[in-house]
Amino acid sequence: MKKKVFYHEDGQIDLVKTFEYENPNFSSKSKRGRSSKASNYSLEPYNGEWGNSQLQHLLNRALLGVSSQEIDYFKEMSLNEILEVLFTPQENIGLPVNDYYDIFPGDPDAQPGETWLNSYSDQFAPPRHESLKNWMFYNQTKITTSIQWTIVYFLNNFVVADLYANGGNANYAYFYYKLLFDSAFGSYKDFIYEVTINGKMLWYLNLEFSKVDAPDENYARELQELYTVGKGPGSKFTENDVVEMSKILVGWNSGWGEHTKTGQNTVYFEHRNHDKSDKQLSSFYNNKLIKGRFGDDGSEELTELIDTIFNVDETSKYICRRVYQFFVNPILDDQIELNIISPLAEILKNNNFEIKVILKILLKSEHFFDHSLSHSLIKSPFHSISKLLKEFDYRLVNSQNRPIDNLNGESTSIEIWMVKIKFYQGFYRALADQGMNYLQFPTVAGHAPYYQSPNYDLFWINSYTSNKRSEFFFNLIRQGIGYRDNTHFKPDLIKWVKTFQSPQDLDSIFSEAVRRLIGFELDDNVNQNLKSFLLNGIDKNHWTELWQREADLSFPNNQTLENQLIRFVSNLMKLNEFNLY
């Protein structure tokens, strides 16, 4: 079949159309039923074997790409101790700063390295969005011991607001991301109230432009379909519910005029633009009548609406389904609904809809550690790239592979923010090539692999994105990320192997590299092929001699060893198994 890639109107790859074009009959042979292969559907605490395999599985789902450093941090802890650490809030996440001064100089309200959040700017709107993107990427790809940024990632794909789309500005986008972060360990119900009146969301789903004589129904629909009760068989809200809720929601405004003066959060309720009539909801919402209110009291209708939605049992079930599908397995069956979703939904509702409560139970359960669920999902492009950013240290090299400490008199340390953000550009391009533009979404529902049945995570893979993944991994190890003046950032493989238990022993290197990058044992045939890449004509004893003789392992003495490692690691990362977690 001729290869073809489909795109959304905004230029992002349409993963669903492309996958279905290449696999026209796949849905009938889809992954549905895979969950039934699990042998344990209990939420009771897991008390079985505890070792590297179980730790790897837990961290694969709790963190955004897992590095060996993160595994080593937790490896001496018990499951209870690990969960205690994972659910400890992070504190210092910094602020987005003026990191665009060399390309867009002259921002009068933010000197180089200072935050721009205290002002508004039309002129510097584009670079401020990029600055916010860099800040988010840094926080989501740094080595961590907390699940908090993973929950932020989950919420961003659940209650979507695109970084660029549908107006607003970088300040309001920051307030949206900060809300995700602050809400990660809090009440999802409270979060839905706050995100409804978030300045970015008001623009993104049109409430900013909703008028009392023509209420916009967009947010009222998504509030139900995407964020709370879903579209499943148990969700029976009506079109009239959408209409009535749109009347409740009209009146909230971002205060754009005042916002452009201060850059601060200026959202307010405009009672003169509010529908003051009574709003009658359907039997799905127990025929709730929300009485119209006058003046500023009209803002209280939103609180009553949120209470009404979250009183419906389907809301807690839908939230639990989405949590389960992201952190455990996207396929839901009758056993999962009965033994996992239903009891978790009751717990969620009784605990003020705090996702962390059910997530702790889920990640500690016998069901979660069922062997069939380990390495059963395809990594998102972001998970793969985040792992590589965490796992390796990167250094700048020239065309002869010689390390460079400065370029034209300027330091090239990756720790310098201006160097780091240029380094990030290559990863942004790779994410887009693989079907996942960072902080951008093809639809208001988010990335299809997280919600689109029946194929879910399989949508990440088609002939184009699969080739782009393999090509990027291969080139990253062999050539690195282009910087400027014919220089590249490359993973320092010698430094990486120095952290191994026995770097002078080829068999030990092989086993440890597979454990760090794949996370589980490979088939014998695959192992033999990989070992041939590592050896490449070098006797094991000769490797030991080379390692011992070249004790300083600096350029150019290390090139024989490094070339062997480049062949081995680049081919290891081409394996399909590298894309599983």
Query: Maximum CA pair distance of the chain?
Result: 85
pLDDT (0 to 100) of residue 336: 96
Structure tokens belonging to residue 168: 């607003």
Q: CA 362, CA 344: separation in Å to the nearest integer?
A: 8
Q: Which helix (H) or strand (E) holds 549?
A: helix 540-549
Choosing from 291, 311, 331, the residue where a domain stops is 311
pLDDT (0 to 100) of residue 167: 80
User: Are residues 212 and 305 located together in one domain of the fold?
Assistant: yes
Does residue 281 fall inside a structural domain?
Answer: yes
What are 560-566's contacts with CB under 8 Å, separation 24+? 561/494, 562/401, 562/493, 562/494, 564/534, 564/535, 564/536, 564/538, 565/493, 565/494, 565/497, 565/534, 566/477, 566/478, 566/493
Choosing from 373, 389, 423, the residue where a domain stops is 373
Q: Which residues make Cβ contacts (< 8 Å) with residue 311, sequence separation at least 6?
A: 285, 286
User: Are residues 294 and 331 located together in one domain of the fold?
Assistant: no
Structure tokens belonging to residue 441: 């979404």
Which whole number is the average pLDDT over 100-110? 94
Structure tokens belonging to residue 365: 């359960």
Ordered alpha helix ranges (H), 436-488: 463-478
Q: Are 569 and 513 in contact (CB under 8 A)?
A: yes
Structure tokens belonging to residue 80: 């209870």
32 pLDDT band, cuts 50/70/90, is very low
User: Are residues 266 and 216 located together in one domain of the fold?
Assistant: yes
Does residue 553 fall inside a structural domain?
Answer: yes
pLDDT (0 to 100) of residue 36: 46
User: Are residues 234 and 320 located together in one domain of the fold?
Assistant: no
Does residue 574 fall inside a structural domain?
Answer: yes
Closest CA relative to residue 21, chosen from 38, 4, 45? 4
Q: CA 407, CA 414: separation in Å to the nearest integer?
A: 13
Does residue 73 fall inside a structural domain?
Answer: no
User: Are residues 296 and 273 located together in one domain of the fold?
Assistant: yes
Structural domain count, the chain: 3
Q: Is residue 457 over pLDDT 90?
A: yes
Q: Which domain holds residue 345?
A: 315-373
Report CA 38 to chain centroid distance, whole Å: 26
Q: Is residue 31 over pLDDT 60?
A: no
Which whole number is the average pLDDT over 104-117? 96
User: Are residues 288 and 360 located together in one domain of the fold?
Assistant: no
Mean predicted lDDT score pLDDT of the chain = 93
User: Are residues 340 and 305 located together in one domain of the fold?
Assistant: no
Does residue 388 fall inside a structural domain?
Answer: no
Choosing from 347, 373, 399, the residue where a domain stops is 373
Instruction: Name the percent of the chain lying above pLDDT 70.
Output: 97
Q: Which residues make Cβ contacts (< 8 Å) with residue 400, sequence separation at least 6?
A: none
Structure tokens belonging to residue 341: 């979703």
User: Are residues 247 and 347 located together in one domain of the fold?
Assistant: no
User: Are residues 202 and 281 located together in one domain of the fold?
Assistant: yes
Does residue 85 fall inside a structural domain?
Answer: no
Residue whose entry in the numeric block shows the structure tokens 């070249």: 550
Q: What is the pLDDT of residues 226-273, one digit of tens each?
A: 999 999 999 999 999 999 999 999 999 999 999 999 999 999 999 999
Does residue 322 fall inside a structural domain?
Answer: yes
Assign 411 to helix, strand or coil: strand
Structure tokens belonging to residue 292: 């119209």
